[in-house]
Structure 1
Amino acid sequence: MLRVGLVGCGFMGQMHATVYGQLANAELVGVFDASPERGQPFAEKHGTRYFSDFDALAADVDVIDICLPTYRHAEFTLRAAAQKKHVLCEKPMALNIEDAEKMKAACEEAGVRLMIAHCIRFWPEYALLKQIVDDGRLGKLLSINLTRYGEFPHWGSNNWLADESKAGGGALDMHIHDTDYALYILSEPKEMFSSGSVDEKGVSHIFSTFVYDGAVCHLEGGWNMPPGTPFKMAFRAVFEKGAIIMDGGPMTIYEVGKDPVVPEFPKMEAKGGGNISDLGGYYHEIAHFVDRVTSGQPFDVTTPDTSIQSLRLTLDEIAQVKKRAGA
C-alpha cells in the first residue's frame, strides 16, 4: 500500500484526492495546505488528516502529490526529494526550463521517482486515438486539429492564475495539454508557427501550426472566452483511410467502407467543480503512477524528459506570440 501525502487543497487537489479514494493500492494519509480554513474541511471530506506542516506530512508518507500553483512546483518537488519521497506533480512542470531541470536532477540524485501529471495522455479518448495512430489501422495520420478553450478559471486561490509570473498565462496553463499531446503522437515538429492574443494575464489565446513530414497539426487554446462560455476540448484527426472526431459529442471513428463507430468508455463522475465532469484521465494517470512506483517499472506514457520537452515547446510558442504582438 503506497502512502500518499497531498499538497494543495484546491480544485486539482479535489480531483486527485477523489481518485485516491478509489484506488486499492494507495492510501491518502494526509493533506497539507497553507490555509487551515481550506485544508481542514478538505481533509474531513476525504476522510484523511490535515497537516499544517509540510515536513511532518512528508515524514509519514512514501509519495508527495503536488497540486499547488505552478510557481510552487519546483520548490515543493525539491523539498520532497530532499526527504526521499517519490513525486507526482501537476502540469505544467514549472514556469521555466531551469526549474524543470532542477526538479528532474533533484529526484534523480535522491533516487526517487518523478512524474508530471499530463492527464491528456491518459484521457481515454486521447489514449485510443494515440493507439490508432500507432497501429496504423486507418493508415497514416495526415492532419489533426486540437482545441481547448473556455472562460477564465476563477477557482484558483487568491486569483493566482491571473498573475503571469505565477501561472504563465493561458497558453502555459491550458494550451500545454495539447502541445504535449501533439508531441506524444507526432514528436517534435519540423516547423512551428504561433500567433494569438496577449493581455495582462499573459498569452490568453493561441493558435499554433506544427509541421511534420507528411502531416500537420493545428492547435487552438485559451481562456479568454466570455463568462458562461462552455468549456471545450475537441480533436479532429484525418487519416488516409478515415477520420476520428470528438467535438461536442462522443468520439466517433469514421473508417472508409464501414459504419461509424462510437467507442464506449466507463465514466467516473467528478464533483469538485471547475470544468471537469469525468475523472477518467486523472484516474488512469494516478493509477499508472502508483502502479509503476509500487512495481519499480519505468513510466512509459510520460516522463520528466517528455514533460521538459513539452514545456520548452510551449515556451517557444509563447515567445512567438509575444514577438508578433510586440509584447
Structure 2
Amino acid sequence: MKNIALLGSGFIAGVHMEGWKRITGANIVAFFEIVPEKALNFQEKYSIPHYSSLPRLLEEKEVDIVDVCLPTFLHRDYVLQSAQAGKHIICEKPMALNVEDAVAMKNACQLNGVELMIGHALRFWGEYKKAKELVTQGKIGKILSLDAYRLSVSPTWSVVSWILQQNLSGGAALDLHIHDLDFANWVGGKPIEVFSRGVQSVNGSWDHAQTSIRYSDGIIANIEGGWMMKGEFPFTMGYRILGTEGVIEWEFRAGVNIEQRGDANPIIIYREGEKEEKINAQDDDAYYLELKYFFDCIENHRTIEQATPDHGITAVRIATAALESMEKGIIVRL
C-alpha cells in the first residue's frame, strides 16, 4: 500500500485519478489545488480531501508518492518541495521549461534519496511501444529516418489559458511537440543536431513546429507538432519509420482532446517482396500503464528504466534547441 497526493485538478489530473483508482494498493489520500472552483468540482467528483497548501497537506497526511499534474512553470518548485519532504515523485511532461530547471529537479531527488519519473506517456502507448520493439528486433533493417506528427486545435482547458502563453508552457513547440521528440530520442539514440522552423500564433507563442533531428548513427527524424488546427480538426498523431528493409507506419485520429484514445488502428509493415503486414498493437490506457509501472517500481524497489529524469532532460534539451533554432534561424548543435 502506498499513499498518494495528487497535485492539480485539471484534465490530466482527472486522467491520472482514473488510472490510480485501478491500481491495487494505490491510495489517493488528498489533492492540492489553489483554484477554488476547480477544487470544488474535483472534490465533488472524487470525494477526497482538498488542500490549498502543499506543506500543510504533507504535514497532515501520510504520503509516499506525489503526482505532479500542475502547469509546467510550477514543476520545478513543487518537485523540489516534494523531494525535500522525502516523497517519490511522478511529474507530468514537459519536465520543465528549460534544461536548468530539469537538472535541478533531478539533482534534488538524488540528494534526497527519492525516485523521479516523467510522464512521457508514449513510452507506454501500445503502438509506440510496438514500433520500438519492431525496430529493436530489426524488423525493417537499419533505421534510416523517422517521421512523426501530433496536431490539434488550440487547447481550451487551462486556467487563464496558461497553456497558450509561451513563458508559462513553452507553447506547442515544448508542451505538445515534446511527446514525439521523446519518441524520436527513444528510437534514434543520441541526438547531435537540431534544426526547426515554426509558426507563431497571434500571441507570439511558437505553436506549430517542424523539427529535424540528426542522431549520432546517422538517423534523421522529422517531427511536426502544433495546436493551430482549425474547426473540428481531430487530434491526429502518427509515425512512419523507414529502414533498409522496410517501413513501419501508423496513424490515428482521436477526437478533439484524445477522448477516443482507447480506439485502435493497426500498425502496417511494408517489406520488399512481401504483402503488407497489419499488427493490432492496442494496449491498455497509456496513462494507467505509466502510473502502474511507476507504482510497481516504487513498491518493489525496482530501478526506473523508462521515462527517467535523463529522458525528460534530453527531451527538454531538444525542444528548447528547436525553439532556439526557430527564433534564430540556425542549426543548433548539441
Structures share fold, TM-score greater than 0.5: yes
Which of 223, 233, 248 pairs up with 1:244? 248
SS in 1 for 2:277: coil
Which of 126, 129, 134 pairs up with 1:127? 129
Distance 1:189 1:106 in 2: 26
Distance 2:212 2:52 in 1: 46
Does 2:152 match 1:147? no
Distance 1:281 1:254 in 2: 26
- Aligned CA-pair RMSD: 1.8
The verdict on how the C-alpha distance between 1:49 and 1:255 changes in structure 2, with shifts beyond 3 A counting, is farther
For structure 1, the residue ranges without an aligned partner over 5 or more in a row are 269-279
Map of 2:213 onto structure 1: 210
The 10-residue stretch of structure 1 (169-178 or 96-105) with the greater mean CA deviation from structure 2: 96-105
Post-superposition offset of 1:214: 4.2
Map of 2:322 onto structure 1: 317
Distance 2:327 2:274 in 1: 46
Which of 307, 311, 314 pairs up with 1:306? 311
Distance 1:33 1:201 in 2: 29
Map of 1:271 onto structure 2: none
Post-superposition offset of 1:47: 4.1
Post-superposition offset of 1:265: 4.3
Q: How many residues align?
A: 314
After superposition, where does 1:164-243 map in structure 2 within 5 Å? Answer: 164-199=166-201, 200-212=203-215, 213-243=217-247
Map of 2:298 onto structure 1: 293
Q: TM-score, normalised by structure 1?
A: 0.90
Distance 2:297 2:108 in 1: 19
Post-superposition offset of 1:282: 0.8
Map of 2:257 onto structure 1: none
Distance 1:255 1:28 in 2: 48
CA contact (8 A) 1:58 1:85 kept: no
Distance 1:8 1:30 in 2: 11
Q: TM-score, normalised by structure 2?
A: 0.89
Q: Which amino acid aligns with 1:230?
A: P
How big is each residue's C-alpha offset from its partner over 1:251-296, in whole Å with a ceiling of 9 and x where there is no partner? 223344544333334565xxxxxxxxxxx21111111111111111
Distance 1:10 1:214 in 2: 41
After superposition, where does 1:66-77 map in structure 2 within 5 Å? Answer: 66-77=68-79
Post-superposition offset of 1:181: 1.1
After superposition, where does 1:255-266 map in structure 2 within 5 Å? Answer: 255-266=271-282
How big is each residue's C-alpha offset from its partner over 1:191-227, in whole Å with a ceiling of 9 and x where there is no partner? 3321111232421111112234343211111111113
